[in-house]
Amino acid sequence: MALRERMRRILTQHSGFAGHEVRLVVDWVKKQPALRAALAEAEQIEPGLDFAAFLSRLKDRDLSWQSTTEAGRAVLAWRLMEHIADDDIKHGDKARVVWHLALGTRERNANDGWRKFVELALAPFFDYMGERVGAESSVLYTLERYVRRVEWFDREELYARFQQDTRNGEEVYNLDLQRFLYLEGNYVTHAKPRSASGEADIIGEVDSDEALICDGKIFDAGSRGKNYLAKGYNQIIQYAQDYQKSVAYLVIFNISGRPLQFPAGESKGVSFPYVDMAGVRVYLVGVRALPPRTTASKQGKASPVVVTVEDLVNPDSS
């Protein structure tokens, strides 16, 4: 696997060049959508990690993980890699972070010290990411693939089914979404879950780390406009709070023909914006669900619908 190969390169690199090798790996990770998505999710599993305190102890030769979860430990290891990469960018051949970290292992040989440090302090990142991405368990990455599948291949077919019963047509999209999540990511959603025996309020292992809070809403810029999205947003916040989850996903099927402009969260390379409220991060996943009526070059000037945080959190003031 490519991720494991990157760790091997760091592990076997001469200590004098290790900082540059870490920098190359950090740059590579930031270009991988699946890894970016998995990192964003890991940061939400254990938010508020104090990397400065972790680094301070590490400099005192005390590798005490300031975390209580595997995800948190992976995030600290990642931030440590970013710290090493930044040192290489700023100081080049005069960078000293790698040397100090290798020395902290109390190995006599700097190369041996570096290898031991990688195994103790950086390997948790590669182990965690390998498990998450290897099992295709990154929700954000799976949703990115779902958006592409609908927009590239299935818009016409889904919209035709929606038009057969517009009043209940939202279920056409929700069923398609949940089927994709189950087949491609092995997820059972817990906003409107389904089983072979029919609908149930909540099914699956909602107390597990893998429980997924996700729901789909239609947006038509009319009766299903901003207030309808706000209703869906607040519902999904309640679902997440009920089952003590810190992340939820609201998929918006846009059939208005107008582009949606969402609040811009600090996505750190993740494709979707998000809005935080009451300890829950809700990712807003926009899907262009209306089949194109003409070619892009003939559609004219776009008139976007701007959705603000206030529109979602306090729709009565809009």
Indicate whether 283 pLDDT > 80: yes
Residue 24 pLDDT greater than 80, yes or no: yes
pLDDT (average), residues 258-269 = 74
pTM of the model: 0.70
Q: How confident is the model at residue 13 (pLDDT cuts 50, 70, 90)?
A: very high
Please indicate whether residue 31 or residue 267 has the higher confidence score (pLDDT): 31
Does residue 45 register a pLDDT over 60? yes
Predicted pLDDT of residue 96? 80
Residue-wise pLDDT tens digits, 206-228:
555 556 888 999 999 999 999 99
Average pLDDT of the segment spanning 65-81: 95
- Phi/psi at 288 (nearest 5 deg)? -75, 100
Predicted local distance difference test score (pLDDT) of residue 201: 40
Contacts of residue 217, defined as CB under 8 A and 6 or more positions apart, other chains included, come to: 170, 224, 228, 229, 232, 250, 251, 252, 253
- Strands 194-195 and 198-199 come out as antiparallel
Query: In the 8-state DSSP scheme, what is residue 189?
Result: B
Distance of alpha carbon 42 from alpha carbon 73, whole angstroms: 9
User: How confident is the model at residue 263, as a pLDDT?
Assistant: 84
Least confident of 74-83, 109-118, 154-163: 109-118
Q: Judge whether residue 15 has pLDDT over 60.
A: yes
Residue 196: count of CB within 10 angstroms of its CB: 4
Backbone angles phi, psi at 57, to 5 degrees: -70, -35
Query: pLDDT category, 147, cuts 50, 70, 90?
Result: very high
- The predicted structure's pLDDT at residue 211: 66
Question: In this structure, what are the phi and psi dihedrals at residue 38, rounded to the nearest 5 degrees?
Answer: -65, -35
With a cut of 90, say whether residue 101 has pLDDT above it. Answer: no
Question: CB of 305 within 8 A of CB of 318?
Answer: no
Strands (E), 130-228: 194-195, 198-199, 214-219
In this structure, what token pair is assigned to residue 313?
């959190």
What pLDDT is stored for residue 239 in this prediction? 87
Asked if 273 contacts 281 with a C-beta cutoff of 8 angstroms, the reply is no
Residue-averaged pLDDT of the chain: 85
Q: How far is CA 195 from the centre of its chain?
A: 26
* Residue 82: pLDDT band with limits 50, 70, 90: very high
